[in-house]
Amino acid sequence: MPFHPWQALVLVLCLLSGCNANYVFDDADYRPLGDPQAVRRGQ
C-alpha cells in the first residue's frame, strides 16, 4: 500500500483529537464536565 502524506495527517489529527477529552485538568477533583454526581461522590 503506497504511503500518502494526507494519511499521516489524518492519523495525527485522530491521535490528537483523543487528547482533547472532556476533562478539566486544573480542577482539584479531576472530574468529567457535566457530571453532577462528581461533587457528592464519596460522601
**Distances from the Cα of 36 to the Cα of 7, 30, 32, 39, 40, angstroms:** 40, 13, 9, 7, 8
Cell of 35: 457530571
Asked whether 3 and 11 are in contact (CB, 8 A), the reply is no
**pTM metric for this prediction:** 0.39
Q: How confident is the model at residue 29 (pLDDT cuts 50, 70, 90)?
A: low
Asked whether 38 and 28 are in contact (CB, 8 A), the reply is no
The larger pLDDT score, comparing residue 14 to residue 37, is at 14
Q: What pLDDT, on the 0 to 100 scale, is given for residue 10?
A: 92
